A and B are shown apart, each in its own frame.
Chain A
Amino acid sequence: MKKKHLVTNVLIGLILGFSTQGCKETENPPPPTNEEELITTLKVELKDTLTGEQYSFYFRDSDGEGGNPPEQWDTIKLRSNSFYQCSIKFLNESNKNAIVNITDEIEKEKKDHVICLIPSVVNIQINRTDSDGTFPVGLSSTWKTGAPGEGHVTITLKHQEGIKNGTCDLGETDVEVKFAAKIK
């Protein structure tokens, strides 16, 4: 009889112990944290070297991939036969109160990243002006526009750790945005 009681008590004790531990964990799920390395925004800053006028064009999808569709997707509008200086910015705007600039990280890890700027149909000549020492990076570039027309400019950011060879073929695509472009 004594043995039986011992067994029952041990069982009840063990089960209660585990269950109460379980209950504690079930009470309040912690609020999910924001992802800081998310890239939500691509900003294209262009400065007319002659007039000094500044333009900014955006692609913005602040809830990341999936979810709501992108809320801003500009058309790049430029003047014909002009010369621009371009700088590319990558931002995380998922939390409006704490916007994170990811551009600096790319600058730091420029040996592992490449940005390609490819115009199609539209008459723009783009030259990347920065370098990681061997290959261009693409955060800064010069744009020279020709005759008026319409087309696209595709901006791609590739992560190419240890495999960078100057092209945009290899690696993982972190950003790929096709902007409509107009030259007046």
Chain B
Amino acid sequence: MKTRNLLLLIILGLGTGKGVYAQTFLISGLVKDSLTFQNLTNVSVYNISLKSGSKTDAVGGFRVMVGAGNNVLKITHVGCDTKYLNVFVNHSFDTIIYLAHHQHELEDIMVVGEKNKLVHLDKDRLNQQEIIISGTKPIASLLDKLPGVSSLKTGYSISKPMIQGMYGSRVIVLNNGIKQEGQQWGQEHGLEIDPYNTSRITLVKGAEALRYTGDAIGGTLLVEPTPIEDNDSLNASITLAGIDNGRQGNGSGSVSKRHMTRALGEIGFRIQGTLKKAGDLKSPLYYLKNTGFEEQNASIAVHLFKTKSQSIELFSSIFNSKIAILSTSHIGNLTDLQKIINSEIVMDKGEFSYKINRPNQHIHHWLNTLKWNKHFSPSLHFELIYGYQLNKRKEYDNHNYFNKTEPSLNFNLNTHQIDLVFHKTFKKGWFLKTGINGSIQTNTYKGRYFIPNYKKAEGYQFSILRYRKNRHELEFGYRAGIVNLDAYKWESNAIEHYGLNYNGVSFQAGWLYKLSADWQIALQAGKMWRNPNISELFSNGLHHGSAAIEYGNIHLKPEEALSGTLVAKYRHNNTRVEFEMYGKQIRNYSYLKPKFPPELTIRGAFPAFNYVQTNAFFGGIDFLLEHFFHPRFSFIEKAGMLNAYTHPSSPFINGIPPYRFDHSINYNPKGSKHWQNLNFKVSVLQVLTQNRYTEGTDYAPPPPGYVLWNVSAYGHIKRYKHLLCFVSAENILNNTYRDYLNRFRYYADENGRMVVAGINIKF
């Protein structure tokens, strides 16, 4: 076994051409601390072979010329031993070098440099440190940090991602390479993934997304579980965190070990578990009655073997949660809803409790994956991924008669998926990725009818072709699919069978041009299709949480979205800018249209909605700016601005995120006697009022905009280098506000100040 230096871990390579001379290339990128993910300044990256090099700038960026073939890079940084890195180069690329700044004992180098997609923006990515610090929240709420991504909430503990105004079956989440199958159809169905077992979340758009899905008109999120630590010692990590509001306690721990064997190559495992418990949250004025939750999660990852030519990995995770639903949100009819909205019902101050009363939901999600990677030659390999998921959801209404212990609504969703992908690198800058995916899904329910029993089979074939030359990169991809749906509905004492078939092709094309060392621009255009989901087709009945009667429509046609995106990326010395402008024209956009008059039932009048289709337009801008106005101070501005409307009938679409801005100042002080890698951040979140709203199309107009002040600090203790301490406070001024994307905005204020404190220890 060859000894490897683990000084450097290069991942996430991105090809960008700057071939000035035929035989010379450019490696550019960022140098980050592998432990803290901070950008490292003043690191010397010197190419011994060409006798040229540079030092990383204030944002940790570097650029170094390399010749074709073998190059030796010398990386020096204060506090680290000088290390040498052998790189074989046949194209220019952009990369992140993780420097083991704190782990002098580790001596290894690994270059992974995979060219993943055409445009890779930092703004679309969350790293492990950010996730550890905010792991007290549900995973989808963390995504608010990405410009253009919001989370659609049902209270604090249920949250699902919303990308550029779209959610549900228009946003696909890939968990360890497998499409996360929950019951995506409902707003009060959160994303059932443990943030503490997540190392990175990336938003993928463009042709690369077709490798995973063709119907994610909003976008595709890749959630990657924490990998097995890349060293031979026994690694353990513990995170403990608490929040004052809701008196939430969190604990998460993991153990991993890797071992080299002669027969099987690298084998290893990682076991991880998380416990969370929280009680009633408090808004500035009153306790939010029945808003606690508890969560127990566990996962195991096993590398059966990993040699140069092939590897097999197994992963299994269990997510269990019990979530209390704000009592006042399960009301009766329209009259009661109006009473709450008009504040005729005064909330009593209440008192704290950990008890999970009715209404509540119990969720169980079990995910299993098996991955097989095989390299036939350096330029050809395939991966096979098989996934099995079981998602159980039990919803308990406010109360029932006969003291029934069974849930009022009970879903059981089983999904099998298989994914086979070939990767081939050709000469002269051509790359091909092609493969097939298939899945079979069944859903059964007990209790109240909302969604029928069904069986869904899907099959897809996709290819993505890339070409890179000098300053240009081109990509083209397609994904063709067929969907077969058999639904079994109970109608007047007999089972009715509905057989539905859909098929379509999605396309994406992109062009990236590197204008200069600092600037790059990219254009993407595509057409996506999405078949109507089960709730759009078959829902029929009262949605208790939203006090609305919803009617599906079996005649819905697939949605077709034409999209265009312009991306510009700039990086120079102290400044980094990422800009994305997008437009989507959607034909057959399906949504819930109010039906008049309200429907009369034994419980009184209820607003009723029909699923209908129209043409819609979504257009917006996402923006990120980072500027170091002092070597230790930076200003970060994030913005997400979206407008959406249907035409020709009603101009605006409801539930579109209002304009959102995050202004922050980041300070990295010099290490003190006891602390290092200190970081302080003050940020002001500004959410404007959603003014693009048509009077009378919602139970209540969108709530006014708000401004929240948040502060956070973290750092490592010098004596215990692997101890990370963090503390943060959200809504530090304890403002009373309501958020337009929280369904509980009708009933109660958002929670008040939240102080989080915690530690992470690595052994």
Taking Cβ atoms with an 8 Å cutoff, the residues of A that contact B are 3, 7, 11, 14-15, 18-19, 22-23, 25-26, 29-33, 35-37, 39-42, 59, 61, 64-67, 69-70, 102, 105-106, 109, 112, 158-159, 161, 169-170, 172-177
Q: A65-B549, A65-B603, A172-B331 are in contact. Are A29 and B488 (CB under 8 A)?
A: yes
Q: Please, how many angstroms separate the alpha-carbon atoms of A177 and B600 in the complex?
A: 9
Q: Please, how many angstroms separate the alpha-carbon atoms of A67 and B495 in the complex?
A: 16
Q: A39-B602, A66-B540, A66-B599 are in contact. Are A32 and B551 (CB under 8 A)?
A: no
Contacts of B453 in A (CB 8 A): 29-30, 32
Asked if residues A177 and B444 are in contact (CB atoms below 8 Å), the reply is: no
Tell yes or no: B384 within 8 A of A by CB. yes
Q: Please, how many angstroms separate the alpha-carbon atoms of A158 and B604 in the complex?
A: 12
Asked if residues A42 and B446 are in contact (CB atoms below 8 Å), the reply is: no
Asked if residues B604 and A159 are in contact (CB atoms below 8 Å), the reply is: no
Asked if residues A172 and B442 are in contact (CB atoms below 8 Å), the reply is: no
Tell yes or no: B400 within 8 A of A by CB. yes
Asked if residues A36 and B541 are in contact (CB atoms below 8 Å), the reply is: no
Asked if residues B603 and A29 are in contact (CB atoms below 8 Å), the reply is: no
Contacts of A67 in B (CB 8 A): 540-541
Q: Please, how many angstroms separate the alpha-carbon atoms of A40 and B541 in the complex?
A: 14
From B339, B542, B603, give the contact of A175 (CB < 8 A).
B603
Q: A29-B453, A30-B453, A37-B404 are in contact. Are A173 and B448 (CB under 8 A)?
A: no
From A30, A32, A173, give the contact of B449 (CB < 8 A).
A32
Asked if residues B540 and A174 are in contact (CB atoms below 8 Å), the reply is: no
Contacts of A26 in B (CB 8 A): 414, 440, 442, 455
Asked if residues B602 and A7 are in contact (CB atoms below 8 Å), the reply is: no
Asked if residues A37 and B400 are in contact (CB atoms below 8 Å), the reply is: yes
Contacts of A31 in B (CB 8 A): 490, 495
Contacts of A174 in B (CB 8 A): 332, 603
Q: Please, how many angstroms separate the alpha-carbon atoms of A124 and B425 in the complex?
A: 87
Q: Please, how many angstroms separate the alpha-carbon atoms of A117 and B382 in the complex?
A: 72
B-side interface size class? 35 or more
From A15, A40, A41, A59, give the contact of B418 (CB < 8 A).
A15
Report the minimal beta-carbon distance from A89 to chain B, rounded to whole angstroms: 13
- Residue ID in chain A nearest B336 by CB atoms: A173
Can you add 17 more A-B contacts, CB < 8 Å, to A15-B386, A29-B455, A66-B541? A7-B310, A7-B312, A11-B370, A14-B370, A18-B416, A29-B444, A31-B490, A32-B445, A32-B490, A37-B404, A41-B602, A65-B599, A65-B606, A70-B600, A173-B335, A176-B332, A176-B335
- Residue ID in chain A nearest B599 by CB atoms: A66
- Residue ID in chain B nearest A154 by CB atoms: B604
Asked if residues A176 and B418 are in contact (CB atoms below 8 Å), the reply is: no
Asked if residues B370 and A35 are in contact (CB atoms below 8 Å), the reply is: no
From A7, A19, A36, give the contact of B402 (CB < 8 A).
A36
Asked if residues A22 and B414 are in contact (CB atoms below 8 Å), the reply is: yes
Asked if residues A33 and B603 are in contact (CB atoms below 8 Å), the reply is: no
Tell yes or no: B263 within 8 A of A by CB. yes
Asked if residues B447 and A33 are in contact (CB atoms below 8 Å), the reply is: yes
Q: Mark B450-492, 1 if CB is under 8 A from A, else 0.
A: 0011110000000000000000000000000000000010100
Scoring B310, B339, B449 by chain A CB atoms within 10 A of each residue's CB, the highest score goes to B449
Report the minimal beta-carbon distance from A87 to chain B, rounded to whole angstroms: 18
Asked if residues B402 and A105 are in contact (CB atoms below 8 Å), the reply is: yes
Tell yes or no: B596 within 8 A of A by CB. no
Contacts of B36 in A (CB 8 A): none
Q: Please, how many angstroms separate the alpha-carbon atoms of A143 and B310 in the complex?
A: 84
Asked if residues B444 and A172 are in contact (CB atoms below 8 Å), the reply is: no
Contacts of A33 in B (CB 8 A): 446-447
- Residue ID in chain B nearest A112 by CB atoms: B399
Contacts of B442 in A (CB 8 A): 22, 25-26, 29
Contacts of A177 in B (CB 8 A): 602, 604
Tell yes or no: B436 within 8 A of A by CB. no
Q: Please, how many angstroms separate the alpha-carbon atoms of A32 and B487 in the complex?
A: 12
Q: Which 6 A-B pairs have the closest CB atoms?
A: A173-B332, A29-B453, A176-B604, A65-B601, A65-B542, A105-B401
Report the minimal beta-carbon distance from A42 to chain B, rounded to whole angstroms: 6
Contacts of A11 in B (CB 8 A): 312, 370, 372, 384
